[in-house]
Structure 1
Amino acid sequence: MPVTRGKKPTAGSKIPKLTATKDENQDEGPQVKRSSSPPHGAPKKRPAFLDITNAVGQCLSDFRPNSDGSFRTAHKVQICLPGRKKEAVKKQVKTTSTLSVSANNQANLIKSSSVSSEDTLPEKQKIDAEEKEEEVQKNVAPPVEEAVAATTPAAREVPAHLRKQEIPKEFDIDSENSEDCSMCPEYAKDIFDYLKQREEKFVLSNYMPKQPSLNPEMRAILIDWLVEVQENFELYHETLYLAVKMADHFLSKTPIHREMLQLVGSTAMLIASKFEERSPPCVDDFLYICDDAYKREELISMEANILQALSFDINIPIPYRFLRRYAKCVSAGMDTLTLARYYCEMSLMEMEFVPERGSLLASACLLLALVTKDLGGWSPILQFHSGYETSDLAPVVQKLYEMLLAPPDDKLKAIRNKYSHKVFFEVANLPLVNADILEKALSQ
């Protein structure tokens, strides 16, 4: 109801009453007239909300800890309404009980209650309280010091399979990045060990017999086209490798017609872009590079089919990541690393390398690049981080060498043209190492 605003009261003056005028309340019946100034010596009255807040605050003040750490609270809580504060305070119950917060405080609870009522309780109740106190003391947990002493060093020892592997100083390649948190120096080796374990889940075989409409040449043409897509969109190399892996896994489970092969490759590249890229190309971009041979609904449907075939587990270990890690072990230059990448990318088009694990293929490519650059063979530090010896890599290196010796196909020249550029140190134009030198390096 509207009230008239008066002057701001000064110090020592009384606050005017906020009462309605007679004209405003002539139909509301008699009004209770309240005095805004308290009698002399009496506490000031507060609005209803402040009275409720004060009552709640009083209740919370009763909920305070005892000296033993337990809490006590009033059995009955009453909120004092305006005008009845004094009466409610008189009726408020003062008796409190102790709330136990732990098993150790139960003994103190009974002891304090028995002591406080020692003069008023009958003799029989005193005896019962003492017996109950002794029973609680028996069930109380031992002190922390005894519990710690009872714990043997063997019980606190970390199991062997959970211990962090100690890396010898001569094989430590991550301590130099201790200030760079993005390199994960504390557990970088654990990450690659985990990726190597995950490889066993994604081992493939030659799936072409399951594809009556396809052959290895068609797959090679698809990979060659995906390399051009990766260059035109300026995508990461990880995106290219992951797209090829996903396409192979999908084709190993789902027979398709040859007319749908390009749709599988472009959709796999779309999924890989979403997984790897910061700004992946949109659906319309992939429809455009396919020369509008497919509809938008077909590409989205194929995306769902690929993800379901892979059970939405698309974090497939790729050789490109292992290659970068192993090159760091020997501080290989960018030209040497690029040469190994060229070998690795050429292997994507060959069906015989599909069953090879990514870590093994990356190791073989790096070894062939080191021998070609006359930088030595497979050193102990590479054996430590990769887990492979030279004898494990020799068969894969031989297949890589035979692949590079074969005459180039004029239809499949995207990778050769790519690595013939100065940006990639023109590594595609480098001559191959002599077969005798390679054989000697593999026999060590």
Structure 2
Amino acid sequence: MPFPRGKKPSAAGGTKTSKVGATSTENQEEGSQVKRSSSPPHGAPKKRTAFIDITNAHNLQISLPVRKKDAGKKDAGKKATKKVAAVPAKNQANLTKSSSVSSEGTTSEKTDTEEDEKSEGLKTDASSPVVEPADDAPPAVREIPAHLRKQHIPKEFDIDSENSEDGFMCPEYAKDIFDYLKEREEKFVLCDYMPKQPSLNPEMRAILIDWLVEVQENFELYHETLYLAVKMTDHFLEKFPIHREMLQLVGSTAMLVASKFEERSPPCVDDFLYICDDAYKREELIAMEANILQTLSFDINIPIPYRFLRRYAKCVSAGMDTLTLARYFCEMSLMEMELVTERGSLLASACLLMALVTKDLGGWTPCLQFHSGYAASDLAPVVRKLYGMLLAPPDDKLRAVRNKYSHKVFFEVASLPLVDSDVLENVLAPPCDASPPDLDVKPKLE
């Protein structure tokens, strides 16, 4: 009859010695059985510690100094016991007395030394050794470099503390990011490059931008992709003369590169060949992509006005309808060759000011001036250019932006009437200047 695992039947009879022997045998087998129970069952994978093949932690033997000393003390105690046992009984008392008298001071010193060593060993195991500085040593205070110090932002201008729990908003250094982008704009200042393009004119460029707006809307791309594609196109045309037949290839290729930079799932090459109505071959588009990147030295992280616009709108807690109106103004400005030379942060500020005045939400606030670095007087020339652009009769060939922002999704902001020019001029006039606006500027707004 089989017995349960881990147990052995006891003998029914036998002497006391056999019982003791049986008991010891049972204990041995039970001990071995406990060890076997920790092993995996037959066919199961063997357990191992993570990185055991790399660190060989299972082969390491850690020996502590305290344990060695304790073991030495135990061995010394055993030897002393044996020696004492070997001394005759009549001399044992004298030997004990003399040893205690002769080693009284030494024993106390050893005890103090061992306690100190034990305490030092515990400190070493618990934490790193602490070095006490000298009395005359200067305090070890390292000063933070000036470029690493956190920028002081007045409480009334702090627009990022509300996002202190959102790591994606980078509230600790959000202003530093936009200050860096504003400084980086100086590297990407454009000029009027049309004289360098004998085969092109501003109307052709406006038609290309209008077509890119349709591409962005049909592919449902980010607005950042559209703005970056327009910037890349302008910087490429500034440095590389092309024929008018290649203009659409430049624009579609710039949109492809911008999609790779901004989008999570950018359209493929065949999609851009399709929207060009197969006017170009695959090899031509790929060659143009390499040409654009090499011409721009692969530096395509160009600051765009759309990013500044969203940042500055947060300064006044602008609603989505106000922000959309400013985006409409900004997207209309992409087609104007006269506004190509303006910096993105300045253009975004002018568009936001136009939207605030149109919505009767006030003018340029101190918070906006703090974060943008522009006063209302700095925005006046760009605002006047925007006003003249919007006041001009619409071109039937350039309807993409107006149709886009006439949809309900965009609050139909394209159908809103323009603000009166006198109201706009009052906002642009400096507070300390009570004189009327210049007469040669006023007719531009009418």
TM-score by length of 2: 0.67
1:162 Cα deviation (Å)? 2.8
Amino acid at match of 1:289: I
**Aligned-residue offset at 1:274:** 0.7
Q: Any idea what SS the aligned residue of 2:284 has?
A: helix
2:339 counterpart residue number = 353
The correspondence for 1:145, drawn from 133, 141, 163, is 133
2:177 is matched with: 191
Q: 1:238 aligns with which of 196, 208, 224?
A: 224
Answering whether residue 125 of structure 2 is matched by residue 174 of structure 1, we say no
Shift of 1:149: 3.3
Q: How many residues are treated as equivalent by the alignment? A: 316
Deviation, 1:146, is 4.0
Q: CA deviation at 1:175?
A: 1.2
| Partner Cα distance (1:148, 1:317) in 2 | 53
| 2:344 equivalent to 1:370 | no
Which amino acid in structure 2 is aligned with residue 350 of structure 1?
A: E
Q: 1:439 to 1:60 in 2, by over 3 A?
A: closer
Distance 1:192 1:344 in 2: 18
Give the one of 310, 314, 319 matched to 1:328: 314
Matching residue of 2:254: 268
CA distance in 1, matches of 2:324, 2:135: 60
Please give the alpha-carbon distance, in whole angstroms, between the structure 2 residues aligned to 1:273 and 1:209: 29
Aligned partners of 1:371, 1:207: CA distance in 2, in Å?
A: 33
Mapped partners of 1:233, 1:432: distance in 2: 31
Work out whether 1:205 is the aligned partner of 2:191: yes
Equivalent of residue 228 in structure 1, options 214, 218, 226:
214
Corresponding letter in the other structure for 1:149:
A
Provide the C-alpha distance between the structure 2 equivalents of 1:161 and 1:167, rounded to a whole number of angstroms. 15
Distance 1:265 1:144 in 2: 68
Distance 1:435 1:60 in 2: 84
**Runs of 4 or more off by more than 6 Å in structure 1?**
63-67
Structure 2 residue aligned with 1:76: none
% same residue: 82
Q: Deviations over 1:305-337 (max 9, x none)?
A: 111111111111100011001101101111110
Match of 2:393 among 393, 398, 407: 407
Per-residue deviation, residues 3-57 of structure 1 (Å, max 9, x unmatched): xxxxxxx999xxxxxxxxxxxxxxxxxxxxxxxxxxxxxxxxxxxxxxxxxxx99
Q: Provide the rounded CA distance (Å) in 1 between the counterparts of 2:136 and 2:320.
A: 55
Cα 1:251/1:146, change in 2 over 3 Å? farther
**C-alpha RMSD of the superposition:** 2.5
Looking at structure 1, the residues matched to 404 and 234 of structure 2 have their Cα atoms a distance apart, in angstroms, of 23
The alpha-carbon deviation at position 150 of structure 1 amounts to 3.1
**AA in 2 matched with 1:368:** M
In 1: Cα distance, 2:234 partner to 2:64 partner = 68
C-alpha displacement of 1:147: 10
1:168 is aligned with what amino acid? P
CA distance in 1, matches of 2:252, 2:135: 63
Q: Does 1:255 align with 2:233?
A: no
User: Helix, strand or coil for the counterpart of 2:133?
Assistant: helix
Report matched runs for 1:12-411 at 5 Å: 145-146=133-134, 149-151=137-139, 153=141, 156-411=142-397
> 2: distance between equivalents of 1:60 and 1:170?
60
Distance in 1 of aligned mates of 2:137 and 2:408: 69
Q: Give the secondary structure class of the aligned counterpart of 1:164.
A: coil
Please give the per-residue CA displacement for 1:351-383, whole angstroms capped at 9, x wherever unaligned.
111111111100000001101111000000101
Compute the displacement of 1:302 (Å).
0.3
Code of the residue aligned with 2:264 in structure 1: it is R
Counterpart Cα distance in 2 of 1:144 and 1:259:
78
Cα distance between partner residues in 2 of 1:286 and 1:242: 17
Q: Report the Cα offset of residue 193 of structure 1.
A: 1.1
Distance 1:162 1:393 in 2: 31
Amino acid at match of 1:408: P
Higher relative contact order (CA 8 A, sep 6+): 2
Aligned-residue offset at 1:181: 1.6
Counterpart CA distance in 1 for 2:334 and 2:410 is: 18
* Counterpart-to-counterpart distance in 1, 2:303 and 2:167: 22
Structure 2 runs not aligned, ≥5 long: 1-7, 9-23, 26-55, 67-130, 432-446
Aligned-partner residue type, residue 437 of structure 1? V
- The one-letter code matched in structure 1 to 2:402 is R
> Aligned partners of 2:309, 2:172: CA distance in 1, in Å?
20
* Mapped partners of 1:185, 1:233: distance in 2: 32
Mark the runs of 5 or more structure 1 residues left unpaired by the alignment. 1-9, 13-55, 68-142
Q: Which has the higher helix share?
A: 2
Q: In the TM superposition, what whole-angstrom CA distance separates every residue of 1:144-198 from its partner, at most 9, and x where no partner exists?
A: 6249933565xx2223333211111111111111222211112111111111111
Normalising by the residue count of structure 1, what TM-score does the alignment of the two structures yield? 0.67
Q: Distance in 1 between matches of 2:377 and 2:132?
A: 57
**For 1:184 and 1:161, how far apart are their aligned partners in 2?**
18
Residue 146 to residue 263, structure 1, CA distance change in 2 (3 Å)? farther
Q: Secondary structure at the match of 2:396?
A: coil
1:66 Cα deviation from its structure 2 partner: 7.0
- In the aligned structure 1, how far is the partner of 2:412 from the partner of 2:330? 15
Secondary structure at the residue paired with 1:149? Answer: coil
State the alpha-carbon separation in 2 of the partners of residues 269 and 286 from structure 1.
9
Query: Quick one: structure 1 residues 383 and 65, their matched pair in 2 at CA, closer, same or farther if it must change by over 3 Å?
Result: same
